[in-house]
Structure 1
Amino acid sequence: MIKNRFFLTGLFLLALIVLYYTFFDGGNMTSADGLDESINPETYRQQVDEQRKKKDNFLQTDSQSPITDKTAFKGLIYFKPDPAYRVKARLEPFADKTQKLVVRMSDGSEEVYDKFAHAVFSLNGEACRLLIVKLGNTYSILFRDATSNKETYGGGRYIELDPDQLTDNHAIIDFNTAYNPYCAYNPTYACPIPPAENTLPIAVKAGEKYTKQE
């Protein structure tokens, strides 16, 4: 069983960081409800669509792709890019920086992550709170929502956060970049299961959807 902590390769993580730098303005970034108003919506949608095309090409051609039948692969399916799902969150860091989280993997094993902070934000008019975990230099949110096991993967989705855009008190969370782990497409991989506290009661209609790839 191959362990797969996170889906994105360095190429796609770098691409997402570029997106953050392109649209992130350290000044007056957000509206009162937490939405990021510093971006041009049309340009943002084009950028997201372009990164999705690059990801499809990777899955169809790269030896590290989890897709077993690459000739039949027609591309992933997504919700349309929506800037409303790119929000500014207030961070609640842990006073004890040594706190750990034991994360269960899909193959029954366990991995230990650092607890970084809780992210508090508003989405679709609802107050939300998610745990951010850290493994090495990777900051991530492992979550489920009301679309899980319906429109999206039942095992949950992940979001990577750019370390350079994390401060002691805020972060940008872009649900348009939410993605499925390798084990969604190939059972030989083992992936982390989101902690129970990271289950949102609302439907996050952003990011990657799910259809089983043969």
Structure 2
Amino acid sequence: MVKNKFFLAGLVLLALVILYYAFFDSSNGTSAGGLDASVDPAAYRQQVEQERQKKDESFRTGDTSPLPDRSNFKGLAYFAPDPSYRVVARLEPFADKTQKLVVRMSDGSEEVYDKFAHAVFSLNDEACRLLIVKLEDNYSILFRDATSGKETYGGGRYLDIDPANMADNRVLLDFNAAYNPYCAYNPTYSCPLPPAENTLPVAVRAGERYVAHE
């Protein structure tokens, strides 16, 4: 009888271990929803570089390019691709789904966004929390960090979120995809400014940098 009790206890413990690794592995931020921040570094860097080349070509030749003068355009400035800036964050949704955020625009006007959730994560050993907003079917984070106004655009940067990268109250954030608003390159554009709460204490050296008169 005692042996049976130990055997059953062992089975229960084994089941708990299996469930833990199936649903969440805290060592690498992997969750059961398929969100995984880990990548093959070489392949990932190649992918990011290819995406950046496409964006540069769009700025150089595209009909929607914000550049007023493309004749001397040699490409946008970027930080080197860094997989450590890919993180899986915990989502803290709002209980009241009707909450709104009035966002000030660079031309002084205002735009109203839906408050979707806060993303809570760790970056460079610092606890971070950012508000995710929604406009129609688009999810995004408007943020500043310790590089803003120095290595990156002073008006902040944006990070778009693919709904496919949200599952089980978690979201994959890849700051290598952070980009400058169009008003960074052309003042005739009106761009939303990050809310005060979305100022990170850390330097996010990932994504687009900013060099005036590129």
TM tier relative to shorter chain:
0.7 to 0.9
Q: Identify which range, 63-72 or 111-120, moves more after superposition.
A: 63-72
In structure 1, the residue matched to 2:134 is 134
Note the residue ranges of structure 1 that are not aligned, 5 or more in a row: 1-26
Q: 1:32 aligns with which of 27, 50, 63?
A: 27
Considering Cα pairs closer than 8 Å and 6+ residues apart, tell me whether 1 or 2 has the greater RCO. 1
Alpha-carbon distance in 2 for matches of 1:84, 1:186: 31
What is the deviation of 1:213? 2.7
Alpha-carbon distance in 2 for matches of 1:132, 1:44: 25
| One-letter identity of the residue aligned with 1:83 | P
Alpha-carbon distance in 2 for matches of 1:30, 1:49: 29
What is the deviation of 1:31? 5.0
Q: Cα deviations across residues 95-119 of structure 1 (Å, max 9, x unaligned)? A: 0000000000000000000000000
In structure 2, the residue matched to 1:60 is 60
Alpha-carbon distance in 1 for matches of 2:125, 2:56: 33
What is the deviation of 1:28? 7.3
> Superposition RMSD on alpha carbons, in Å?
1.7
Contact in 2 for aligned 1:93/1:168 (Cα 8 Å): no
Alpha-carbon distance in 2 for matches of 1:144, 1:33: 26
**Equivalent residues in 2 for 1:88-99 (5 A)?**
88-99=88-99
Give the structure-2-normalised TM-score.
0.84
| One-letter identity of the residue aligned with 1:50 | Q
Q: Cα deviations across residues 140-167 of structure 1 (Å, max 9, x unaligned)? A: 0000000000000000000000012223
Higher CA-based Rg: 2
| One-letter identity of the residue aligned with 1:86 | R
What is the deviation of 1:37? 5.0
**Equivalent residues in 2 for 1:89-168 (5 A)?**
89-168=89-168
What is the deviation of 1:41? 1.0
Note the residue ranges of structure 2 that are not aligned, 5 or more in a row: 1-21, 31-35
In structure 1, the residue matched to 2:13 is none
Give the structure-1-normalised TM-score.
0.84
SS in 1 for 2:164: helix
Contact in 1 for aligned 2:37/2:87 (Cα 8 Å): no
Alpha-carbon distance in 1 for matches of 2:58, 2:25: 34
Alpha-carbon distance in 1 for matches of 2:95, 2:83: 32
Q: Cα deviations across residues 22-76 of structure 1 (Å, max 9, x unaligned)? A: xxxxx77865364855311110110000000000000000121001111111100
SS in 2 for 1:197: helix
